[in-house]
């Protein structure tokens, strides 16, 4: 989770290319966050509600979201 001060952003990390994101979906269904992050071996992809971030870029994304 990232607390930006104005919202909580859930993060799911997956070490494989299987992008089911089951836990993230359960969280989303229950709490309806505006945005979620999935870190994985896949390439960057912005799906609106879900930002898929390659594992190597997680630190940069977290830093940008925390201070924006």
pLDDT at 60: 80
The answer to whether the beta carbons of residues 11 and 39 sit under 8 Å apart is: yes
Q: What is the pLDDT of residues 4-37, one digit of tens each?
A: 888 899 999 887 766 666 788 899 999 999 999 9
pLDDT at 29: 92
pLDDT at 4: 83
Q: Which of 10, 4, 55, 58 is nearest to 35 (CA)?
A: 10
pLDDT at 54: 92
Range 26-33, long-range pairs (CB < 8 A, 24+ positions):
33/7, 33/8, 33/9
CA 33/CA 4 separation, integer angstroms:
13
């Amino acid at each position: 989770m990232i607390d930006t001060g104005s919202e909580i952003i859930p993060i799911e990390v997956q070490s494989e290319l299987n992008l089911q994101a089951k836990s993230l979906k359960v969280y989303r269904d229950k709490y309806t966050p505006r945005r979620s992050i999935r870190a994985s071996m896949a390439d960057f992809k912005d799906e609106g509600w879900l930002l898929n971030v390659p594992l190597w870029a997680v630190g940069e994304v977290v830093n940008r979201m925390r201070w924006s």
